[in-house]
Structure formats: structure tokens, C-alpha cells
A and B are shown apart, each in its own frame.
Chain A
Amino acid sequence: MITATPTQHEPKNYINSDYGIKSWLLTQDHKRIAILYLIVVTAFFFLGGLFAVLIRIELATPAGDLVDSNVYNKLFTMHGIIMVFFFLIPSIPAILGNFLIPLMIGAKDLAFPKINLLSWYIYVAGGVFTLYALMRGGVDTGWTFYTPFSTSYSNSYVIATGLGIFINGFSAILTGLNFIVTIHRMRAPGMTWFRLPLFVWAHYATSMIQVLGTPVIAVTLLLLILERGLHIGIFDPALGGDPVLYQHLFWFYSHPAVYIMILPAMGVVSEIISCFCKKAPFGYSFIAFSSIAIAVFGFLVWGHHLFVSSQSVYAGMVFSMLSYLVAIPSAIKVFNWTSTMYKASVEMSTPMLYAIGFIGLFTIGGLTGLFVAALGIDVHVTDTYFVVAHFHYIMVGGAIMGFLGGIHFWWPKITGRMYADTWSKLSAIIIFVGFNLTFFPQFILGYLGMPRRYHVYPPEFQVFNVLSSAGASILGFGYLLPFCYLLYSLKFGPKAPANPWGAVGLEWQTSSPPISENFEVTPVVTQDAYQYSTREEVKVG
């Protein structure tokens, strides 16, 4: 580890450029806003995790001995809502994307700094609504809010929670809009589209989904609120509505939302693998366009969530075939990452461990996605633990591994401090082991027929549930470790140099942490991204 030469005066950077709570809460600096997001998103992660802990403790025994059915319904609902809307969706874009996109393209800030700050306040306001609903007793509809239960039967705080998510949606829309405009308009001289880092391409694709899809979930939840509160017939057949219409509208956004979670993680993985293989990614343009393809195809497949609803079988067949299309760009990415590693001198750093973990877990999650996209198999595994395991492999095994990999990769840049190497590698391994022990048994449970969302189950399922709960305790411990050593590093970690990993990319050419303006002078880009070979030659020469 290289330590910066100690100086008498700390050089000015975005952290020490101004002091006081006001300087943070009214900041328009994209880097500071990213830190604001980091703090709140982390708090939501641990809150959502707390619900998961309670769920897994309850499921350690076949009897419902910790909570009753109503409380259990609320536990898994609040776990899902908080993790999906308040952690997974904003995690990488709002934290790493916010911090890094202007740095990566050589800009001073995002295109709309005030809107960027506004998006954080909207996110917090949406969170406050949801926490209010939680404190008043929570909601029990599942994170999917399916009608007619959510509109006509549930006695929980559906309207408050729905409003919280509705408000939160605007935060994602504004972030996506900001990214699209920034990437189009604020690239440094010479930074052409095909010189953009793959992280930026991934965020461009993600922003498209956020801007095009999020309004639909916002309107859908508003319609749900109108029907529940004012009895306007949209989804209730008694009022002239159609409950399956709700599922169409909900999944039109919520399936692409999975790609809002996974695409940025894929961008992170592309950067990490390239850096620690010291090679340009194999097939740059294929990886870049596969992000766009995933975003586009992702909008055409939502009907595979409706195979056992009263959706037409013919529509189901079309949706099933289209779902298989998404496998193509996803596979392109996996093959290209592994091809990048082929014959490279791979450095097994902490971010790289997370990236490799991501590839393995995402592959399992993706392949089991093909199972549930098949009309016949889906009928057997719908609403079982097979589906729970599948989407956790994508959303936890994929998105959170990517998030943690990204946090570890750019932590020196964000904070100017290095973290403990041994502890971080240990935690990456613990998380990988804990994750698989938690979720792999759930594939078997689901295939054997254990339905999701029940807290009482037949005794023959106990062994897999105990394995899963044991894995969850390991996973929880694994998540606490980075929280501790990263916090520790803020005060006691060695100072980070500008480029601790020997990476290429504009963000590594500025100081750690960067100055408020990002660069002393606007950089001029003269070569493609990932020119590791050129860099080596220059070094040797």
C-alpha cells in the first residue's frame, strides 16, 4: 500500500472544502450528494436486513412460534419494500453513479446539480412516508401490492406506503434524467461514446429504464390508492375493473426494475475485472451494447410474472419466448468477463473477489431465470421458494455483490483512505459462503413445493430451512464486517494515493478524495478506455 507524503496542511478536497451540517444538507456537489445517499441507503439496508433476520428466525422451526401470520405478512412485505425501493434501486446509481459519472467523463458535476440534491430530498421524503406506515403497524400485501387484496381487503397502511413509493419514484426519475443529460452533454473533449467506461454505458442503460419505466409504477400505485381510497373502479371487477391489469402495469415497471438493480452492478464488475486483469475488457462494444439490449428487452418480458394469473396462454407464450431473449445479452457479458480473465495476471484483491462472486451468483440466478421463464416449469414453481432463491441470486448475489465490490474498489477514491485488506477479503469470502448457504437450499425447498410467504411449514422442510437460517446468520455477519472496517478506515486507515490500484480512467487521475471541481483543468481524452497495454509500455519505456 502506498501512502501519500504527509504534508502540514491537508490539501483541499470535496470533504474538507466546507464544514458544518448546512454545508452538507445544501450541497450541490455530486460527490457530497452521493455520500448523503450512502448514509441513508445504508440505514435502509440494515433496516431491511433486520426484517430478514426476523423472518429467518421464524422459519428455523416448522411451527409459527415467534410471530403470528399477520405479523409475518408484514415482516416479509416491509423487507421487500425497503430492500427493493429504498436500497437496491438507488444503491449503485445514486451512490456510485452520482459520485463517479462526472469524474469518469471529465465533467465538473452532473448537468443539474440542484435537481440532484432535490432527488435526495425526495428519496428521504418517500422513506419518511414508508417509515411512518411501518411505525403505525406496517403493510401486509407483499411488496407487489397485488389487487384485489391491496385495494379491498387489507387492513394495513397500504395508502401511506404506496404514497411513499410513489414519491420515491420521482427521485429515481430525476437521477436517471440527470445521468442521461450529463452523459450526452458534459463529456470532456475527446471523450467520444466509444471511449466511455463501461460503467457509464451501464448507467446510461439504467437511466433509460428509470426514466421510461418509473412513471408507470408511480401511476399504477396512484391508481391503486384512488381505488382503495375513493372506490374508483380500475382493478376491482365489481367496479368494472380488471385485477390482472394491475399485474400488467406493476410488472411493466417492476421487471425492468430488476435491471435497474443489476445493470449498474454489471458496470461495476466490468471496471473491476478490467483493472485487476490489467486488460481491456474482451469485446468492449459488445458489453456496451448488451447493456442497452438488456434495458430494451427487459421491457418486453413482464408477462412471465403472470403465467398463473388469468393472462391469455397465447400472450404467455409470447412473453416466454421474449424472456429467453434477455439471456443473450446477459450471457454475452458473462462470457466477455471470463474471456477478459483468460490468460490475464489476475490480482485477487477484495473488489475482484466480489466481481468473481458476482459472475458465479449471477450465472446461477440467470440460468434459474430460464426455468421460471418456461411456461410449464413456472406453473410448478410459481410462488414457491424456488422463485425466492432465483431472484435473491440476482438481486442479492448480483446487485449487492456488485455494490460491495464497487464500494471496495472506489472507497479509496471516495474517502481518501485505504481499508484493512485481510478483513475485507475475509468478509468477501464469508458473504459468498453465507449467501450460498442461505439461498441454495431454497431452490430445493421450492422445487419440493414449499410455498413462499408462509411462516408455518411441514416438518420435512425443516432441514433446508435450518440450513438457510444458518447461512443467513453467516451472511448477516459478513455484511456487518465491511460496515465496521470501512467506518474504522475513515479515521485510522492509511491515506490513499490518487490511484491505489494502478487503474486507468479519468477518476483515478485526480486526487483521492477529489477536489470539489473534480479536476484542476478539464482533461482532454486522447485514447480509448482501458489502455492498460499502452500504460505498461509507457512504464517500461
Chain B
Amino acid sequence: MANHPPETEHSTTHHIVPTRVYYGVFAALLVLTGVTTWIAYIDLGRFNIYVALTIAVIKASLVMLFFMHVRYSSKLTKVIVASGVFWLMIMFLMTMSDLATRGWMRVPGR
């Protein structure tokens, strides 16, 4: 199995991506950068951060999927990428669990 795992065979075949896909992704990234700038001038209240982060996540996903070829990679590579995102979520979630519960303990006099 270590000799010729199916994933190994699959991942050694290079997927040829048409240049129009790269130009398309590049254009999408430019548009989304413009949207980020445009929306920064509009006050959405508490949704400011959510909108900005959503656009950032879409841009990062485009870069990973197309420029970094994750879309065309083996399942193993996808698992490795997903584990990185999962680890990032652990960091966010547990850090935020501190922030979200700090107010639960009532401090006398405050």
C-alpha cells in the first residue's frame, strides 16, 4: 500500500487550469477588494465586522482553491487544508469562549 496508494497516483497527475480561470479569479479578487473598500464607508452597525470578514473569507477561499490548486488536488491534500482551517476555528472558538463569558462573573462594585 505504501508503494502505490491511490491518492499518490491521483495527486501526481497535474491538472491543467485554463488561463481564463486565473484571470477570472483575479478579477473576482479585485472586485471583492473594491467591495471591501466601498462598504467600509457605509455604517452597518454591528454587521460591519461580519460583512468584512465574509468578504475576506471568500477571497482567501478563492486563492486557496484556484491559485493554490486545492480544488484540483488529492483528497489527502484537501484533508490537510481542512485540518488547518479546523485548527484556526479551534483558536477562534476557544479564545472567544473567554471573551464571551468574562462578564458572567459579577464583580462586586462594578
Contacts and interface: CB of A to CB of B under 8 A. Distances in A.
B110 interface: no
B84 A212 contact: yes
A245 B96 CA distance: 10
Interface in B50-107: 76, 80, 83-84, 87, 90-91, 94-95, 97-102, 104-105
Interface stretch (B1-9, B17-25, B27-35): B1-9
A212 B87 CA distance: 7
A192 B101 CA distance: 46
Best-surrounded residue of B1, B83, B84, B94 (most CB of chain A within 10 A): B94
15 contacts: A180-B80, A185-B8, A189-B2, A189-B3, A193-B2, A212-B83, A212-B84, A212-B87, A213-B87, A242-B99, A311-B98, A311-B102, A313-B104, A314-B105, A315-B97
A211 B1 CA distance: 26
Bin chain B's interface residue count.
20 to 34
A314 B101 contact: yes
Contacts of B76: 184
Contacts of B1: 192
B92 to A, nearest CB: 10
Contacts of A193: 2
Contacts of B84: 211-212
Given A190-B2, A315-B94, 15 more contacts: A184-B76, A189-B2, A192-B2, A212-B87, A213-B87, A242-B99, A244-B98, A252-B91, A252-B95, A299-B90, A303-B98, A306-B98, A312-B98, A312-B99, A312-B100
Given A185-B8, A248-B95, A314 B104 contact: yes
A313 B97 contact: no
Interface of B: 1-3, 8, 76, 80, 83-84, 87, 90-91, 94-95, 97-102, 104-105
Nearest to A306: B98
A189 B4 CA distance: 9
A216 interface: yes
Interface of A: 180, 184-185, 187-193, 211-213, 216, 242, 244-245, 248-249, 252, 299-300, 302-303, 306, 310-315, 318-319
Contacts of B95: 245, 248-249, 252
B52 to A, nearest CB: 15
Contacts of A244: 98
Contact of B97 (A192, A212, A318): A318
A180 B104 CA distance: 43
A216 B91 contact: yes
Given A187-B2, A245-B95, A303-B98, A313 B83 contact: no
Contact of A312 (B3, B87, B101): B101
Best-surrounded residue of A189, A213, A242, A314 (most CB of chain B within 10 A): A314
